[in-house]
Amino acid sequence: MKNVSLILLTAFALFSISLRAEIEVTEDLSTYGYIDMAAVDLDDGEGSQTDISEFELGLSFMPVESDWSAVSEISFNGDDASFETVTITYAATEELSFTAGNILSYQGFETYDATGLYQFSYSGPGPLYSAGYAVGASADYVTDEFAAGVWVGDTDSDLSFEFLLAYTGVEGLTAKVIYADDPGYETFNFWASYEVGNLTLAGEYVDTDYEGFGDFNGFTEIGELESYMFLAYYSFGNPAITLRYSSVDTDNGDYDKITVCPSYTFSDNVLGLIEVSWVDDGASDPTEVAAELLFTF
């Protein structure tokens, strides 16, 4: 699937699931979304920034007596507006469904939306490590113990494919293997998370070979990329803390990051956090500090 790069994707954090809400407009139509405000300070000479990072509004249309459903999400980031998920789904059975539209990649542990992260930043340098959306079609088979999916889309030069296998047969455990074959890259992604009590542990491995060189957000002329990520999240009730270590190795430079992120759930709809990340990028080695306030509805 075409995405900004290939490290991360869909898995909602515990506090994220509890925060995410829906407003029922009619029996068939509901709306949801969030407002994300953030202040970021860097000590690498780029200064600080405070803004409304994103306002997202989603509509979910699920007729009660129909096997068809549709979802549309619009994201506003202060400069422009764009569609994210825009899909039509047919549920052939309780387990098997077919979807067409603008679909989020299967890849990655960390999610595209702020509501699905255990912390503020991504494990790699900037949005390079956020999975993206692409127009295509998918078939997904989901049970209580396993899931399988395939996505296919049409790029400028050829077809792009993603394949997913997931195991959820042990309480608290989620393990996923994703393989992507695109005209621009080939990637293997494995991640697993385990929840026991108030503790969540997660790990991820990504191996990507690019077909051509390009400028990837600071890494120039990358042909190969290999990354690791380890995360621990513990909830004390309303307060919680996330610890994360990530390492990205390429044929043109390395990137290591240690993150500490305490958070607090003020209500069912409001989450606040402060993050400090120490980065070793072989150049400016910045310390990144961020404060975020997230309101979901």
**For the chain, which domains are there?**
14-296 (2.40.160.10)
pLDDT of amino acid 210: 81
User: Exposed e or buried b for every residue in 189-219, given b needs 16+ CB within 10 A?
Assistant: bbbbbeeeeeebebbbebebebeeeeebeeb
Handedness of CA 105, 131, 208, 157 (dihedral sign): positive
Query: Which residue is listed with tokens 């469904």?
Result: 97
pLDDT of amino acid 126: 57
CA proximity to 142, closest of 169, 162, 115, 120: 169
How far is 58 from 65, CA to CA, in rounded Å?
22
pLDDT of amino acid 42: 77
Query: Which residue is listed with tokens 């113990």?
Result: 145
Helices and strands, number each (H, E), in the chain: 1, 19
pLDDT under 50: residue ranges of the chain: 1-18, 215-220
Name the CA dihedral angle for 212, 215, 216, 222, rounded to a multiple of 10 degrees: 40
Q: pTM for the full model?
A: 0.86
pLDDT of amino acid 215: 46
pLDDT of amino acid 205: 96
Task: Give phi and psi for 128, each to the nearest 5.
Answer: -55, -30
pLDDT of amino acid 252: 79
Amino acid at site 217: N
Query: Which residue is listed with tokens 């989901």?
Result: 142
How far is 110 from 198, CA to CA, in rounded Å?
19
Task: Give phi and psi for 52, each to the nearest 5.
Answer: -90, 100
How far is 277 from 254, CA to CA, in rounded Å?
16
Which DSSP helix (H) or strand (E) runs through 124?
none
pLDDT of amino acid 79: 81
Token pair for residue 38? 């953030």
CA proximity to 88, closest of 101, 105, 77: 101
pLDDT of amino acid 293: 96
